[in-house]
Structure 1
Amino acid sequence: MPMSNSAIQKLGKRLELPEAVSEEDLTLLEDLLLDYSELLGVARGQIDELCDSVTWPLGVTHRLKTTDTLIQKLQRAKARGSSTNLARIQDIAGIRVSGPLTLTEQDELTAMVAERFEGQGHRCSVKDRREDPMVGYRAVHVLISAGGRTVEVQIRTVGQDLWANVFERIADIFGRGIRYGEPPEYGGEAVTDIISSMEGLSAKLFELERDVAASIVSGGEREDCLARLDPSLVTLRKILQEIEGIKGRSAT
């Protein structure tokens, strides 16, 4: 029988404490993730089917948070003084859809995802992070509620996806908390400057994506308009490659 939201919340309260996690609570968390895994598998099948029906070349991936990642998330929040309700964490199960989309097409795909799942009786809500980014992170998320659990579908343009991948690698090196506006664990002001530069790059990319979408609406050739994004995408790919090199050297 699935855990109730009340039981999940109580489990989260125990897991957020810095003491060693009990075997019993670890087993309960693993059982909870199994519930999410089953829901994620069903949702992934629906997303794959939907993406196969459109003309845009889309990539689809999915992931389930691990027990370690969830416990760290809960304990980080507790350490900040802002306890997190485990039952309300929305990104335990996630699907990512990305491709060479304009902002207009991103809106269209978002509507298609929500319509498909709402048509099956699930409740959907949309979180648009493009106008109101989180530390530079931009995307559109569709939150699908089914059976008391939530699957988060992230819909990203190529530029948004590349930017997010770069920032993820930076967070791997200097502290995962920087994704939520926390100070870096290492590097001090130099890393703060890097974060500021990444936020500026995100803003410039978004302005360019808006211009591209407007040009296409005005009658511009789609591929020609999208090509205007190429220099920014090349820059992000170079940064990503450099960071991967840094990570590789630090691991040896």
Structure 2
Amino acid sequence: MAIPELPKEYDQLDQWKTLMFLYSSALQEVQTRINILSDEFHHINHYNPIEHVKARIKTPESIVKKLKRLGFEATIDNMYRELHDIAGVRIICSFTSDIYYLADAISRQNDVNVLMVKDYIANPKPNGYRSYHMVISVPIYLSSGQVEMKVEIQIRTIAMDFWASLEHKIHYKFEGAAPSHMRENLKECADMVALLDERMMALNESLQEAGEPEDDSREQP
């Protein structure tokens, strides 16, 4: 995907501000689409698979650090071409089945282009990390025309998000070199999280098969 056309007379600071404005706009666009899906689920299905949504833009320090870690010079062009998660949205669901349902609902939108998918639920990372990642591009309509911008969407269950939050803290506390006993405990916890998600989803499916409970208007003791 080609980098958006930025005015040639802009200096690096102006180009940076313009590109960050475009990422922020893309983030707003994706959040709006997710909010509409959430409202539709409530309206039609009386069930909403979306527990909550988090959104963020990477900080300048984080962008530069990641480019250097990947072996790229910290330039505007490299920032746009090589990084896919500058604008990021995380959707938290109750059940694993909700994850794939939401990913399909997003990818079926006509003007959403799915650029990349990494299914760490079907294929967990060696440390046990589980989540569903998709990088999409969405159109941003400006007064000068249309611009395509990338947004990374991560979809995971509540349990997966709890595990990932702790793993993230440990990773940065020890700068990626956590003690072996911590890594082993984290992997065991990841396996327990996977089992918990599987059992909770099975319970929910049994609940759905049982149907709605009968109305009991008798006064409870």
Same fold (TM over 0.5): yes
Identify the structure with bigger relative contact order (alpha carbons < 8 Å, sequence gap 6+): 2
Structure 1 pair 133/53, CA: closer, same or farther in 2 (3 Å)? same
Which secondary structure state, in structure 2, belongs to the residue aligned with residue 149 of structure 1?
strand
Structure 1 residues without counterparts, runs of 5 or longer: 9-23, 80-84, 179-183, 185-189, 223-252
- Match for residue 120 of structure 2 among 129, 138, 152: 129
Which string of whole-angstrom CA distances, capped at 9 and with x for unpartnered residues, describes residues 207-252 of structure 1? 33234434544xx226xxxxxxxxxxxxxxxxxxxxxxxxxxxxxx
Preserved contact between residue 48 and residue 60 of structure 1 (Cα < 8 Å): no
How far apart in 1 are the matches of 2:39 and 2:5? 39
Residue aligned with 1:90, SS: coil
Q: Normalized per residue, which structure has more strand?
A: 2
Please state which structure has a larger fraction of its residues in helix: 1
| Alpha-carbon offset, residue 161 of structure 1 | 0.8
Confirm whether residue 207 of structure 1 aligns to residue 195 of structure 2.
yes
Secondary structure (helix, strand or coil) at the match of 1:58 reads strand
**Equivalent residue number for residue 58 of structure 1:** 51
What is the number of equivalent residue pairs in this alignment?
183
SS in 1 for 2:71: helix
Tell me by how many angstroms 1:60 deviates. Answer: 1.0
Percent same amino acid at aligned positions? 26
Rg larger in structure: 2
For the pair 1:40 / 2:27, whether they are aligned, the reply is yes
Superposition RMSD in Å: 2.9
- Matched to 2:30, the amino acid is A
* Cα distance in 2, alignment partners of residues 130 and 102 from structure 1: 12
Q: Contact 2:106 / 2:112 at 8 angstroms: preserved in 1?
A: no
Aligned to 2:130: 138
Change in 2 beyond 3 A, CA 1:192/1:32:
farther
Alignment of 1:131-170 (within 5 A): 131-134=122-125, 135-146=127-138, 147-170=147-170
Structure 1 residue matching 2:89: 3-state secondary structure: strand
Taking the aligned partners of 1:145 and 1:160, their CA distance within structure 2 comes to 25
